[in-house]
Chain A
Amino acid sequence: MIFNSRIKRYLSAHQTIQAFRRLLWFGLLLLSVQLPVFAGQADAAGKHLRFGVLPDSARDFIEARYAPLLQYIKQETGINIQMVVPENYQKLLQLFKDKKIDLAFFGGYIFIQAQQQADARPLAMRDIDLHFSSVFLVRADNDRQKLREFKGSTLAFGSRLSTSGHLMPRYFLNERGIDPETFFAEVRYSGSHDQTAYWVRDGKVDLGAANSVVIRKMFRDGILNGNEVRILWETPVYTDYVLAVQPDLDPNLQSRLLDSLLALSPLVREQRRILDNLGAGGFLPASDADFAGLRQIFARLPLELQ
């Protein structure tokens, strides 16, 4: 009898311990599942994002272009955004792939790569990005009027990963039956649009392909002089830049970011300054479909360029 009651007591104690252990394991499991969620919430509460931009111009020029926008976003949403300017286009893509930046302002070409390699999601784009173009620059004293007249000359593209400084000018040259590598005596890559313009101005190359918005702003700001450099030809329009985010960025943050960008209006004086800096009339929601044409061009590129 005594023996029986001892066994019962032992069993009851044993069951209690087991139940406690199970509860502990369950709690730990629940905690491990919830931890990333808590981390996300903490991140959202901290509202600190890293924003990568294309190094398509000189660093101070880029900082002056984006600083008012980031200040505005902070004012409107409370989200603190730190700007990251990598050394080159490839580095920007790498930072995005490594999740070291949360959002990035990509060119179309590099965005497609980021989408293929890191599932980048398009968020917003400037109105001008739907009708973007590239320009071919020559020295103002060069009297040749057509691209075909530049056979055997030197050509400069911007960065290899630039849409408006390389991919699209190359595509439109190909459309006209010009293969840059065989048509021109030398093809060089300057690394950025403004550098291409300087190379043309300084006579380092005969012809340069660059982003039309950057070049027109350089003319407007007096950095380029119409007596030194002129636009030989402007390409047809295509879709270019886009603000893209990481696929796992908190949807609430994405929504607030998009909303603040869409709210920008050229009718409000302070906001017009922000938009002018970006060469935009406003922001539009972006989608995958906007890049369908560019994706087709990208798929037709030689493998070494993809």
Chain B
Amino acid sequence: MTRRKSECTDSTVLKRVYLLIGLLFVLAVVVAVLLLRHTRDQERLYDRIGNYHAPMIYYTDKLDAALELIEHSLQHSGKAREETHLIPTLQNPAYTIGSYLQAIQKLNGGTDFPEAENALHRLQREVGNLIGILNNLSTETGNSKPASLPALIKSVQFRTRQLNRLHVNASAKLRQNSSNRPSVILPC
């Protein structure tokens, strides 16, 4: 009777040990999956910031600065040489803004950011018009520039700033999301 009782207790303990091991195993798997998912999400987030938003912000800043220079040099184009020699000018404005636009277009952000996609389309359209006018301007003799040029430059500049701010805001939001997530590395 005593032996049977002891056998019974042994088997119950053993069962509990197996159950505990099983539970620990399941828990370890769950933790591993969660960690993996967290790391992947973080990676994806940093990838999005580093390979999409940050270069987009960089190139739109550059484009904005180039447009500023074009506007500046156009404003002073009628003035005497001694007045304008200190003003930095772009050697080939159409090429410069075209190359920045190309760099921007190469950055692929997927389809989950429709505002930025549409803002880029609007920018492309207006930069295209501007490049057309600038190319005609450089081939034409004389100093006549279309009356619409300053307004078009301003508009392209504004479109550039819109795109820039969309990416600055989206990037800030992602950083915020990232900092809101619990850190994987536990403090010692």
Question: Are A287 and B165 in contact (CB-based, < 8 A)?
Answer: yes
Cβ distance A29 to chain B, nearest Cβ, rounded Å: 25
Cβ distance B43 to chain A, nearest Cβ, rounded Å: 24
Q: How far is the CA of A126 from the CA of B154 in the complex (A)?
A: 15
B152 is an interface residue with CB less than 8 A from chain A: yes
Question: Are A284 and B115 in contact (CB-based, < 8 A)?
Answer: no
On chain A, the residues within 8 Å of B154 by CB distance are: 281
Question: Are A285 and B169 in contact (CB-based, < 8 A)?
Answer: yes
Q: How far is the CA of A287 from the CA of B168 in the complex (A)?
A: 9
On chain B, the residues within 8 Å of A258 by CB distance are: 115
Cβ distance B122 to chain A, nearest Cβ, rounded Å: 7
Comparing A16-24, A55-63, A90-98, A263-271, the segment that makes contact with chain B is: A263-271
Set B115, B161, B172: member contacting A289, Cβ < 8 A: B172
Set A262, A267, A289: member contacting B162, Cβ < 8 A: A262
B151 is an interface residue with CB less than 8 A from chain A: yes
Instruction: State how many residues of chain B have any CB contact under 8 Å with chain A.
Output: 17
Give the interface centre of B151, B165, B172 by most chain A CB atoms within 10 Å: B165
Name the interface size band of chain A: 10 to 19
Question: Are B151 and A263 in contact (CB-based, < 8 A)?
Answer: no
Give the interface centre of A262, A282, A289 by most chain B CB atoms within 10 Å: A262
* Interface of A (DSSP majority class): mixed
A228 is an interface residue with CB less than 8 A from chain B: no
Interface string of A268-291 (1 = CB under 8 A from B): 000000000000011111110100
Cβ distance A244 to chain B, nearest Cβ, rounded Å: 14
Question: Are A284 and B162 in contact (CB-based, < 8 A)?
Answer: yes
On chain A, the residues within 8 Å of B69 by CB distance are: none
Question: Are B158 and A281 in contact (CB-based, < 8 A)?
Answer: yes
Q: How far is the CA of A232 from the CA of B44 in the complex (A)?
A: 55
A15 is an interface residue with CB less than 8 A from chain B: no
18 A–B contacts, CB within 8 A, in A order: A127-B158, A255-B115, A259-B114, A262-B115, A262-B118, A263-B122, A265-B122, A265-B155, A266-B155, A267-B152, A281-B158, A282-B162, A283-B162, A284-B165, A285-B165, A285-B166, A285-B169, A287-B165
Interface residues of A (CB under 8 A from B): 127, 255, 258-259, 262-263, 265-267, 281-287, 289
Interface residues of B (CB under 8 A from A): 114-115, 118-119, 122, 151-152, 154-155, 158, 161-162, 165-166, 168-169, 172
